[in-house]
Amino acid sequence: MADPNGLTALKLLADIREAIADWRTWLADERRASNHTTENYLADLYAFLGFIGEHMGETPNLDTLLRLTPRDFRSWLARRSTDGMAKTSTARALSSLRNFYRFLDRSGRGQNAAVSSIRNPRLPQSTPKPLSPVDALAMLENAGAWQDEPWLAKRNLALFTLLYGCGLRISEALDLNADQRPRGDSMVITGKGNKQRLVPVLPIIREAIDDYLSACPYAPDGNDPLFVGARGKRLVAQVAQREMRKVRDLLNLPDTATPHALRHSFATHLLAGGGDLRTIQDLLGHASLSTTQRYTAVDSEQLMAVYNGTHPRARR
SS3 state of residue 49: helix
Q: In this structure, which amino acid lies at residue 176?
A: L
Of 192, 234, 246, 294, which residue is the catalytic one?
192
Residue from 198, 144, 192 nearest 166 by CA: 198
Of 206, 263, 264, 269, which residue is the catalytic one?
263
Mention every residue, 6+ apart, whose C-beta is less than 8 A from residue 215.
150, 151, 154
SS3 state of residue 189: strand
Please give the C-alpha separations between residue 88 and each of 84, 115, 126, 287, 305, in angstroms, as whole numbers.
12, 18, 11, 18, 29
Provide the CB-side half-sphere exposure for 310 (13 A, CA). 6
Mention every residue, 6+ apart, whose C-beta is less than 8 A from residue 296.
271, 277
Determine whether 269 is an active site residue. Answer: no
Of 169, 181, 206, 269, which residue is the catalytic one?
169
Determine whether 192 is an active site residue. Answer: yes
Of 155, 181, 260, 269, which residue is the catalytic one?
260
Q: In this structure, which amino acid lies at residue 151?
A: W
Determine whether 169 is an active site residue. Answer: yes
Inter-helix orientation angle 87-106/35-56, to 10°: 90
Please give the C-alpha separations between residue 274 and each of 78, 130, 132, 268, 278, in angstroms, as whole numbers.
45, 17, 16, 10, 12
Cβ–Cβ under 8 Å, residues 180 and 226: yes
The whole-angstrom distance between residue 66's C-alpha and the CA centroid of its chain comes to 31
Determine whether 155 is an active site residue. Answer: no
User: 181-218 burial, b for 16+ CB within 10 Å, e for fewer?
Assistant: bbeeeebebbbeeeeebebebeeebbebbeebbebbeb
Of 80, 206, 264, 286, which residue is the catalytic one?
286
Determine whether 46 is an active site residue. Answer: no
Determine whether 98 is an active site residue. Answer: no
> Could you give the residue numbers annotated as active site?
169, 192, 260, 263, 286, 295
